[in-house]
Structure 1
Amino acid sequence: MRKAKWLAAAAGVVFLVAGCGSNGGSDKGGSSATTGGSASAGSGGGSEAGGEGLTAEAVKTQIETAATGAGFVQDATGDPVPAGLEKCMVSWTADAEKASDPKKSYTDTVGALGKDGWKTGQNFSQGGSTIQTLTQGTWQLKASDHSMGALKMVMFIATDATPECEALFKADLEKNKKS
């Protein structure tokens, strides 16, 4: 349960950072993303112009397709998205222990997402960890690789920045402050 609360808090932080930095940061241009890649409109792969109207299910499919194609399998012990946020957030955790080269699989996953219409933005690297921001339409994805050393964790957390989702994230953060 503690992990689920952390996930909701992390999503809120990702969302708030996205809201604060998307107009002036180096990750501008999410809504002007073009589509491409192998996903088709029928697969929910985000063929909408610029990713507008992209659903959580389509985002999950894109992440899963890119990650599994790069050699990852999903970690079955990863926490689900907190109740009530399923349409606004996607969390996909890779089992980095099972990947032959987690760093390469991470890089290949980010590359595949780029071919599927996700625009790369800010990149943060420190101490062997990397967090890459990607955007498509109203969605922002934080791809994080912490596979150096003993801890091997690779996560993809996407949040939708629509006003409806903003309200849901704020309500969830407030609820968790009280618990």
Structure 2
Amino acid sequence: MRKVKWAAAAAGVVLLAAGCASEGGSDEDKGGQSPTAGSPAPAAASGAPGGGTVDAAAVKGQIEAAATSAGFTEQPGNDVPANLKSCMVSWTADAKKASDSRRSYDATVATLAKDGWKEIRAVDQPAAVVKSLDRGGWTLKASHQGKAGALLVVSFIATETSATCAKAFQEDLAKKQQ
């Protein structure tokens, strides 16, 4: 089951990374939101020398700090495969321990936005909310799916969007499909 989960996640990431790397045009052309006049620019990337691309450890730290300050604790057992650790961060909340998982999810996303993550897409339905955020060469999928008392999953999965990582995801997916 875990293999299937990673294969599905990797497939989605490959499509996401490939789409981000190959599409031209403005954010509006891609279905995203372009900044409005007077809106603050994202904060300078941290976690890498000279403010360059953020590394996986910095991204994990940002997610963890935002989520724990909102009342979440990390659910154990969501390790990223060794060959993808520099390209992917997976942080799943133990949502059953949060007093109000949706409020904690919203607070986590708000904190990430204050830290320079720019929301580019959002899907908000009664049983599922998924927001895509970008920062420093990374895309973060923040999702809250299900209801308390039933199946409830709150996760934050970030992927680096470089060509090197897209290749690593494709290789990992091909290996898992064999």
TM-score scaled by length of structure 2? 0.83
| Mapped pair 1:35 → 2:43 | yes
Secondary structure of the 1:84 match is: helix
Deviations for 1:10-55, whole angstroms, at most 9, x for unmatched residues? 133134124326653233669x96217xxx95xx3x7965xx4100
Cross-structure match for 1:110: 109
CA distance in 1, matches of 2:9, 2:50: 28
Matched residue count: 167
- Is residue 13–residue 169 contact of structure 2 (8 Å, CA) maintained in 1? no
What is the DSSP-based 3-state SS (H/G/I as helix, E as strand, rest coil) of the residue aligned with 1:140? strand
Give the secondary-structure state (helix, strand or coil) at the position aligned to 1:81: coil
Change in CA separation of 1:47 and 1:103 when aligned onto 2, cut-off 3 Å: farther
Contact 1:11 1:157 in 2 (8 A): no
Report what 2:98 is aligned to. Answer: 99
3-state DSSP class of the match of 1:97? Answer: helix
CA contact (8 A) 2:129 2:143 kept: yes
Structure 2: runs of 5 or more not aligned: none
Following TM superposition, by how much is the alpha carbon of 1:114 offset from its aligned partner in structure 2, in angstroms? 0.3
The question of 1:126 aligning with 2:125 is answered yes
Match runs of 1:134-145 below 5 Å: 134-145=133-144
CA distance in 1 between counterparts of 2:3 and 2:79 reads 7
> Which residue of structure 1 lines up, in the alignment, with residue 56 of structure 2?
56
- State the AA in 2 paired with 1:75: Q
State the alpha-carbon separation in 2 of the partners of residues 125 and 102 from structure 1.
15
Conserved? CA contact 2:140–2:157, under 8 Å: yes
- Do 1:27 and 1:133's aligned partners in 2 also have CA atoms closer than 8 Å? no
Identity of matched residues, %? 42
CA gap 1:72/1:80 in 2 versus in 1, 3 angstroms: same
CA distance in 1, matches of 2:49, 2:102: 28
The offset of 1:127, in angstroms, is 4.1
Task: Structure 1 unaligned segments of length 5 or more: list them.
Answer: none
The equivalent of 2:177 in structure 1 is 177
TM, length-normalised to structure 1: 0.82
Q: Is the 8 A contact 2:88 2:159 kept in 1?
A: yes
